[in-house]
Amino acid sequence: MKPATVSSEPPSEPPSESPAPSAAPGASARSRKVALTAALAVLAVCVLLGLVIGAVGMPVKGVVLELLDRLPFVSADSGLSPVEKGLLVQLRLPRVVLAAVVGGLLAMSGAGYQGVFRNPLADPYLLGAAAGAGLTATLMIVVIQVDGLVPLAAFGGAIGGVLLAYALGSTAGRGGGTATLVLAGVAVSSFLAALQAFVQQIRVEQLQKIYSWILGGIGGDWSQVWLVAPYAVVSSVVLLAHGRLLDVLSVGDDEAVGLGVDARRVRLVVLCAASLATASAVAVSGLIGFVGVVVPHVVRRLAGGSYRVVLPLSLVGGAAFMVLADLLARTMLAPAELPIGVVTAFVGAPFFVGVLRATRAVSV
């Protein structure tokens, strides 16, 4: 990917990525189907690994037959014991499903943010979702002390942080452009993070519980899956439906207006959907970093820059990535468990080093 050229005049927008040249319509549609099929196959393998591997190993054939037996009008004898069936269906399966949903939402919302800001390094937490969720979750843990309400508090805080940043960015600067929104997000995130640090310092006895939530984790409860499912469906449908419009925005606002696209409305809708996806993921998993940057960037490298490809592949690729990350988190130090945010950071930090080195090489 070619980096943006630095000019002598101050930029009015953040560094943007150059739109990838589009292929012929027939070839493009065919390549999208092939790429999506391959991604779904990888996701299926990752899900199967997540179900089979654990503190108690299970046979692949038994797991597959048990899952088939749960389908309507299908009867299959898995050969698993009642204890193994309970472990698979009540603990391991909901955890793998939730990991896939969280990873897919974070990666797809990251791709949406990158399309809005025309910057391949934008992430889902750019406008204060992480800081807002962290503050409200911390307040719930240390003040109200009702653990069952932490997901709801985190969801509200993430939405509130984004709304505050958008309101500030829309009323400041010239026309509330993307550069102003980025600065507003930085300001709101810094302020909310400072409030969170203040709350932590006055209730230090709760630090372990707070940091456990901040570092992220995937639970194994079906109730969390059903909690996030409606928001996941709505945000995914909206984002996937705006792939072509994000492609139009990638060529510039003036050209988009000439093609009859309301750039401001498209940005607002995509930001709302991406923020909803981020908030719902954060509510059930805590703050998991790097997924929204790493996965869309890899997808863009492998499949091109069209958001009609990047968005669905980010959804599937993020799901596969998070399932594998959760598998590593619960098996690397078994019977102890690593925070999943630590695992994603181990992947994300070298990724950024590689991006910086590649960018430097291209610049030279």
Q: In this predicted model, what pLDDT tens digit does every residue of 221-256 receive, in sequence order?
A: 898 999 999 999 999 999 999 999 999 888 877 777
| Residue found by looking up tokens 């389908």 in the block | 71
**Distance between CA 111 and CA 318 in Å, rounded?**
11
What's the pLDDT score for residue 31? 81
pLDDT-derived band at 27, boundaries 50, 70, 90: low
Mean pLDDT for 164-183 is 79
| Residue 40: strand, helix, or coil | helix
- CA-CA-CA-CA torsion for 150, 155, 157, 159, nearest 10 degrees? 180
Please tell me the predicted confidence (pLDDT) of residue 46.
Answer: 96
Q: How far apart are the first and last CA of the chain?
A: 14
Residue 193 confidence (pLDDT) above 60: yes
Decide if 152 contacts 261 (C-beta within 8 A).
no
Q: Which H helix or E strand runs over 258?
A: helix 253-258
- Which residue, 295, 296, 315, 304, is CA-closest to 241? 315
Q: Which tokens is 246 given?
A: 């994000």
- pLDDT confidence of residue 257: 78
Secondary structure tally for the chain: helices H, strands E: 15, 0
Write the pLDDT tens digit of every residue in 98-113: 999 999 999 999 999 9
User: Measured between alpha carbons, how far is 130 from 176 in angstroms, rounded to an integer?
Assistant: 22
Domains within the chain, CATH numbers bracketed:
32-356 (1.10.3470.10)
SS3 content of the chain, % helix, strand, coil (to 5): 75, 0, 25
CB under 8 Å to 44, separation ≥6 — which residues?
Answer: none
- Asked if the model's pLDDT at residue 146 lies above 80, the reply is no
